[in-house]
Structure 1
Amino acid sequence: MSSEPGAIQYGLRAVLINPLVLHAGLDPSGFIGEHTMIYSDECFHFSSEHVAQVISMTLPSLRQPENFWLLIETGDELLDHRQAVLHYQGARQTVLPGGDHGFSRWAEFLDEVLEFARLRTGEV
């Protein structure tokens, strides 16, 4: 069984929305512990299992960058959009000013995302 994410393993197209990029100096194990959600007072525990999940979802450098589209907003309060722009060089990139980590402009891109991912089967 391959440890590569499915889009890479199977040559599929993928849209990356505000992705976390693990770079030198960012060790997700440093986040293990109790945290509070940013939009509520709900608490959660970030565990070593979560660290493993984050690492497993991190895409390596892209062998087929034409299969990837980075959608990112510069106002992301959690992630530095510049890391993703550098990491996903060669991929289609849409970098929008402002916004937030929830990607507030999602509705504007839904049709285009479906077309890019080849999920649109025709007009209804």
Structure 2
Amino acid sequence: MLTPICASAQDLSYQPINPRFGGNPFNSNHLLGEANAQNKYTDPNDRSNQSQADIFAQQLQSRLLSSLSSQVVDAIFGKDPQQSGTIQFGGQTIQFDRGLDSVTLRITDQSTGKETVISIPTLVKAS
């Protein structure tokens, strides 16, 4: 009954599979492939099914709005800044008023009447 029994064991070690958690970096392509295969989400902003004319119209609108925003910034902060003004573009009305320490922009959507107010602090140059 009192015979000695030898027991042997080895350390348990855990190795994660995902490379983000310390796993083998060669698993990343395999895991990404599996995730993409299971992904049922489709991007609503995917441009692959748009026509060339639609893409061109969106890019043109983006460039026009960028040019308009540059003009607004020049009118407010340019060489000869104005105290107030109104700019209309499409269905939008942009009004700006310069205060003592900030410039207030009011962007109004004329079709819905929705108004967005943005207050931009002005930097005062120390002399």
Asked if these proteins are the same fold (TM beyond 0.5), I'd say no
Q: Which has the larger radius of gyration?
A: 2
Q: TM-score, normalised by structure 1?
A: 0.18
TM-score (norm 2): 0.18
Query: Which structure ranks higher in relative contact order (CA pairs < 8 Å, sequence separation ≥ 6)?
Result: 1
